[in-house]
């Protein structure tokens, strides 16, 4: 059995890799925490598997190690931030901090960040807001990879939508792509030699395909739930890119396939509600717990043990990882070897197997 990876070891390795590019310690720590926390939740497509790609961008100049996100325009309850072509985790974390401050003042906040790097797991920023007592919804956009109903190719990105709701215990957390599946899962399944389900991809003729090798050059991701996912993906595009004046659809770069010297011009939006401003916290906690209990007590389907809340399985995975280490898949471990070579540092023994 492959040994599990201690969270601290993975975090220190990721931090040192990022520091090797010239990132300041604070920015490297922000990005490392976001990637490792995502792995801790068991969402391996958006955790440290991305590290090697980010290192290439930072080394090539497409993502600026010295970037300093700044507010372009703002009002009492809103702000538009330029990410200065830095890491998406740095731009989005900055935006969350601005949004929290404004939400604590005004009760609500809407903050956008444009011209930033690939944002990774959008749910991490929703969790950052929830830790400060705010309910949050995050949207992002990406280069088109998702078909629309009736199209023969990609129309929108696999634009993410995430939300987190604070409770007296674990937050409720939803983090989804508006595609039927995240592109990273297609890559991972194909690399592992697994069959692609017919609901994941749309081939060049506009019909479903199970050939994962066609993605992304000759196939597009299917939209989540057909026209419903298409509509939500369009909403993400408007909130993240159209309103703040960021790059849209094909104007967004591919952080994976473009030259390392080219920015990717990603964008995100954050909407926060300060619970304390809207209602009494104790009353809210009681009401949300009543809703949680009602859902938990719903009769389970045959073969199921219970009905879970969004994020509940991930938090169970995180507690197991905190106690026993992260069970990193082999494809992630291979990417860590690549990251170590790029950063010219030795991969710790705990990550090398």
Mind listing the pLDDT tens digit for each residue in 126-152?
Answer: 999 999 999 999 999 999 999 999 999
CATH of the domain at 125: 3.30.1370.60
Question: Do residues 17 and 88 both lie within one domain?
Answer: yes
d(CA 73, CA 243): 12
Q: Which residues of 94-113 are buried (b: 16+ CB within 10 A; e: fewer)?
A: bbbebbbebbbeebbbbbbb
- Pairing status of strand 108-116 against strand 78-82: parallel
| pLDDT above 90 for 182 | no
Q: What integer pLDDT is reported at residue 296 of this predicted model?
A: 97
* 214: containing domain: 180-222
Q: Looking at the structure, do residues 243 and 200 belong to the same domain, yes or no?
A: no
As for how many domains the chain has, the answer is 2
CA–CA dist 159, 68 (Å, integer): 25
For tokens 């990251």, what's the residue?
339
pLDDT single digits (tens) 106-117: 999 999 999 999
> What average pLDDT does the structure give for the chain?
96
Looking at the fold, whether 107 and 79 belong to one and the same domain comes out as: yes
Tell me, yes or no, if the pTM score tops 0.75: yes
Mean pLDDT of 222-230: 95
Residue 300: inside a domain: no
Phi, psi at residue 80, to the nearest 5°? Answer: -120, 120
pLDDT at 193 over 90: no
- Which CATH number covers residue 191? 3.30.60.50
Report the pLDDT value the prediction gives residue 151, as an integer from 0 to 100.
95
Query: What percentage of the chain carries pLDDT values higher than 70?
Result: 100
Q: What is the DSSP letter of 88?
A: H
Specify whether 114 is located in the same domain as 149: yes
149, part of any domain: yes
């Amino acid at each position: 059995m492959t040994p599990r990876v201690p969270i601290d070891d993975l975090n220190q390795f990721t931090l040192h890799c990022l520091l090797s590019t010239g990132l300041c310690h604070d920015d490297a720590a922000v990005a490392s925490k976001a990637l490792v926390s995502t792995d801790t939740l068991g969402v391996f497509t958006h955790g440290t598997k991305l590290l090697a790609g980010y290192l290439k961008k930072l080394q090539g100049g497409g993502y600026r190690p010295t970037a300093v996100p700044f507010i372009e325009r703002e009002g009492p309850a809103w702000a538009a931030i330029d990410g200065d072509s830095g890491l998406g985790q740095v731009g989005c974390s900055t935006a969350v901090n601005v949004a929290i401050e404004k939400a604590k003042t005004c009760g609500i906040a809407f903050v956008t960040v444009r011209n930033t790097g690939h944002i990774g797991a959008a749910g991490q920023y929703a969790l950052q807001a929830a830790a400060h007592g705010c309910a949050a919804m995050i949207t992002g956009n990406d280069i088109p990879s998702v078909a629309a109903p009736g199209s023969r190719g990609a129309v929108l990105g696999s634009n993410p939508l995430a939300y987190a709701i604070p409770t007296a215990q674990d937050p409720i957390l939803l983090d989804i792509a508006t595609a039927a599946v995240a592109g990273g899962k297609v890559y991972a399944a194909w690399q592992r030699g697994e069959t692609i389900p017919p609901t994941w991809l749309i081939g060049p003729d506009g019909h479903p395909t199970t050939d994962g090798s066609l993605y992304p050059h000759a196939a597009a991701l299917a939209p989540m739930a057909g026209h419903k996912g298409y509509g939500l993906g369009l909403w993400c595009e408007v909130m993240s890119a159209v309103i703040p004046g960021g790059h849209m659809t094909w104007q967004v770069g591919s952080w994976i396939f473009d030259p390392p010297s080219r920015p990717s011009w990603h964008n995100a939006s954050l909407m926060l509600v300060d619970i304390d401003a809207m209602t009494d916290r104790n009353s809210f906690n009681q009401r949300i717990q009543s809703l949680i209990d009602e859902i938990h007590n719903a009769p389970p389907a045959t073969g199921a043990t219970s009905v879970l809340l969004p994020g509940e399985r991930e938090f169970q995975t995180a507690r197991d990882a905190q106690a026993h280490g992260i069970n990193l898949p082999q494809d992630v471990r291979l990417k860590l070897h690549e990251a170590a070579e790029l950063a010219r540092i030795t991969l710790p023994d705990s990550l090398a197997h």
